[in-house]
């Protein structure tokens, strides 16, 4: 961000950060100037941007295993991430989600924090092992937790996007084969049926799965995520069963909670070629095939991309008659998670290898900051899929090595990141893409999977030793933007 932009941000954000013990004062703690002065940064949306409209939903996202903790309380069963993170060498520093952000006990204060920031939407996930026992019967204590949480959100007027599966598969199902076992797809449909019956009327939008690419490839293809298996053949079969689970769940969601929206969330990646050579251009295409079309083609075209087997020959999954019709049932929305691009070249055979560009801005994760990739993917999807449903950006954000200094967290890189990515969304909308909302990842720092607690994605800082929450400058900017938008409407 240019020095002049940083100066403007600092000028209207001079109020003290707010900790958990004073959450009712979150809104008041933002500087008076930030509550009344128009956002004058050149990266802010133009005056006529759809992002200023109240109908464009702005919120934040979390996931159950990453924030809840309380893994052994009130009948919750073990999940694959409990097992994986307890395995030496799998997670950085040996971290686990056993306590995480202790959200299970602090949820009321966390919702007050969400409200204090003025966020309009909240995307959360349900922990499957918290709400069902091994026989598939409901666990009332676990269900009551989500019932109370959603009732509070509804009371406060927060739009709720609820994800059924954000990677915490019950361990007893993994012991029977997990997503390699077709039966898991039917057990997921049972779970979706139960949740949509129990929580009908409390949820504005249901997402069946979060990022099936990560579940299939990182969990079963290269072993970097739970359950830690590494075989391309496993990845393609796991993906098919994940997508089948989605397709089987949608009719139950529609029958039990007809007023809600139904969709799925995919993480997508922009692939760029390292040169104009045909082989490198082909490599970039293949990157996007395995990262995007692998999921979106069966959902929106009813077929897997043929190019996928060029990358992983001999890995074709077992697909039964009617599966792809089930998978490709119409969606009310498509959730898109975007973080970075991958620059590639041909590997000299039938695939690609990454060529990281030099001299580019990167996040704590080492990911390149590349807002144009989000715009390019959105416009590309509109061109590729004639039945593309309305889109919500269900995750977008960055990790930084944030520390609290004098009661403040000055995460100016994140503010710049968010401004530029919102600008990319604005450009996509102006190009005709139907994008209806944007959820920051994430509301607060949390358990970042295989990276444990080192990588901080939140707009709220969490001191894991004390569970103290501290509002970051980025959260103040989000709040100021929403207040200014409300004043304009």
> Where is average pLDDT lowest: 42-56, 192-206, 273-287, 376-390?
42-56
Name the packing angle between helices 371-384 and 412-430 (round to 10°). 30
Mean pLDDT value across the chain: 91
Which among 211, 288, 345, 476 is annotated as catalytic?
Answer: 211
pLDDT score for 228: 98
| Exposure string for 87-115, b = 16+ CB within 10 A, e = fewer | eeebbeeebbbebbbbbbebbebbbbbbb
Sign of the torsion formed by the C-alpha atoms of 108, 113, 115 and 121: negative
| 5 pLDDT tier (thresholds 50, 70, 90) | very low
Q: What is the pLDDT averaged over residues 267-294?
A: 98
At 62-103, the pLDDT tens digits run: 999 999 999 999 999 999 999 999 999 999 999 999 999 999
Residue 22 reports pLDDT greater than 80: no
Distance of CA 68 to the CA centre of its chain: 16
Q: Binding site annotation covers 454?
A: no
Q: What is the pLDDT averaged over residues 195-211?
A: 98
CB 335 within 8 A of CB 265: yes
CB 297 within 8 A of CB 365: no
Q: Binding site annotation covers 281?
A: no
Residue % of the chain over a pLDDT of 90: 87
Residue 198 reports pLDDT greater than 90: yes
Q: What is the pLDDT averaged over residues 454-483?
A: 96
Q: Which one, of 1, 135, 120, lies nearest residue 51 by Cα?
A: 120
Residue 34 reports pLDDT greater than 70: no
Per the structure, the complete domain to which residue 348 belongs is given by: 3-488
Q: Is 155 a catalytic residue?
A: no
Q: How far apart are CA 236 and CA 250, in angstroms?
A: 22
Q: Let me know the angle formed at the C-alpha of 434 by 40 and 155, rounded to the nearest 5 degrees.
A: 75
Q: Binding site annotation covers 210?
A: yes
Phi, psi torsion values for 212, nearest 5 degrees: -60, -25
Cβ-Cβ contacts under 8 Å for 184 (sequence gap 6 or more): 169, 173, 176, 177, 178, 241, 245
CATH number at residue 11: 3.20.20.80
Query: How many C-beta atoms lie closer than 10 Å to residue 386's C-beta?
Result: 8
pLDDT score for 45: 73
Residue 134 in 3-state DSSP? Answer: coil
pLDDT score for 320: 98
Residue 213 reports pLDDT greater than 60: yes
The structure's pTM equals 0.92
pLDDT score for 455: 97
Burial class (CB in 10 A: 0-12, 13-18, 19+), 359: exposed
At 116-168, the pLDDT tens digits run: 999 999 999 999 999 999 999 999 999 999 999 999 999 999 999 999 999 99
pLDDT score for 64: 98
Distance of CA 316 to the CA centre of its chain: 28
Residue 44 reports pLDDT greater than 70: no
Residue 408 reports pLDDT greater than 80: yes
Q: How far apart are CA 350 and CA 352, in angstroms?
A: 7
Residue 273 reports pLDDT greater than 80: yes
Q: Is 354 a catalytic residue?
A: no
Residue 43 reports pLDDT greater than 90: no
| 47 pLDDT tier (thresholds 50, 70, 90) | confident
| 28 pLDDT tier (thresholds 50, 70, 90) | very low
Q: What string of DSSP letters covers 383-394?
A: HH-TTPPPEEEE
pLDDT score for 357: 96
Q: Which tops the pLDDT comparison, 210 or 23?
A: 210
Which among 68, 368, 395, 476 is annotated as catalytic?
Answer: 395
The two three-digit tokens of residue 101, written as one number = 């952000």
Q: Binding site annotation covers 166?
A: yes
Bridge partners, 439 (sequence order): 59
Q: Binding site annotation covers 66?
A: yes
Q: Which one, of 392, 443, 483, lies nearest residue 109 by Cα?
A: 443
Burial class (CB in 10 A: 0-12, 13-18, 19+), 292: buried
Q: Binding site annotation covers 449?
A: yes
| 23 pLDDT tier (thresholds 50, 70, 90) | very low
Phi, psi torsion values for 439, nearest 5 degrees: -115, 125
| 32 pLDDT tier (thresholds 50, 70, 90) | very low
- Domain total for the chain? 1
The two three-digit tokens of residue 352, written as one number = 């690609």
pLDDT score for 342: 98
pLDDT score for 127: 98
Residue 106 reports pLDDT greater than 80: yes
């Amino acid at each position: 961000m240019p020095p002049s932009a940083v100066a403007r941000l600092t000028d209207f954000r001079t109020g003290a950060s707010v900790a958990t013990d004073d959450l009712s004062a979150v809104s008041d703690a933002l500087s008076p100037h930030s509550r009344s002065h128009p956002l004058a940064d050149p990266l802010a949306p133009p005056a006529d941007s759809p992002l200023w409209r109240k109908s464009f939903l702005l919120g934040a996202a979390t996931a159950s295993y990453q924030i809840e903790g309380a893994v052994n309380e009130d009948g919750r069963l073990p999940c694959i991430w409990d097992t994986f993170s307890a395995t030496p060498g799998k997670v950085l520093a040996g971290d686990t989600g056993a306590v995480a952000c202790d959200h299970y006990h602090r949820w009321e204060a966390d919702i007050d924090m969400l409200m204090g920031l003025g966020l309009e939407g909240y995307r959360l996930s349900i922990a499957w092992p918290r709400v069902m026992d091994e026989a598939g019967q409901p666990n009332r204590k676990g269900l009551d937790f989500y019932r109370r949480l959603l009732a509070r959100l509804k009371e406060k007027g927060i739009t709720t996007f609820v994800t059924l599966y954000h990677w915490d598969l019950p361990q007893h199902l993994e012991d029977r084969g997990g997503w390699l076992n077709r039966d898991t797809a039917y057990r997921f449909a049972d779970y979706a049926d139960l949740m949509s019956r129990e929580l009908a009327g409390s949820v504005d939008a249901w997402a069946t799965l979060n990022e099936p690419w990560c579940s299939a490839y990182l969990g079963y293809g290269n072993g970097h995520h739970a359950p830690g298996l590494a075989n391309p053949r496993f990845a393609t079969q796991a993906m098919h069963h994940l997508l089948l689970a989605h397709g089987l769940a949608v009719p139950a969601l529609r029958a039990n909670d007809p007023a809600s929206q139904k969709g799925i969330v995919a993480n997508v990646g922009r692939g760029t070629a390292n040169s104009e050579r045909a082989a490198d251009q082909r490599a970039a295409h293949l990157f996007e095939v395995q990262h995007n079309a692998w999921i979106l083609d069966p959902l929106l075209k009813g077929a897997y991309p043929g190019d996928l087997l060029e990358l992983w020959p001999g890995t074709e999954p077992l697909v039964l008659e009617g599966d792809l019709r089930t998978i490709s049932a119409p969606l009310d929305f498509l959730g898109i998670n975007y973080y970075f691009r991958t620059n590639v070249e041909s590997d000299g055979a039938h695939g690609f290898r990454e060529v990281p560009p030099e001299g580019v801005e990167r996040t704590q994760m080492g990911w390149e900051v590349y807002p144009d990739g989000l715009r390019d993917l959105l416009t590309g999807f509109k061109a590729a899929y004639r039945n593309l449903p309305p889109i919500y950006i269900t995750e977008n954000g960055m990790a930084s090595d944030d520390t609290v200094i004098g009661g403040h967290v000055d995460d100016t890189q994140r503010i710049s990141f968010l401004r530029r990515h919102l600008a990319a969304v604005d450009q996509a909308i102006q190009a005709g893409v139907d994008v209806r909302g944007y959820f920051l990842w994430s509301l607060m720092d949390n358990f970042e999977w295989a990276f444990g607690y080192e990588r901080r994605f939140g707009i709220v800082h969490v001191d894991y030793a004390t569970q103290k929450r501290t509002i970051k400058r980025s959260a103040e900017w989000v709040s100021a933007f929403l207040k200014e938008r409300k004043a304009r409407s």
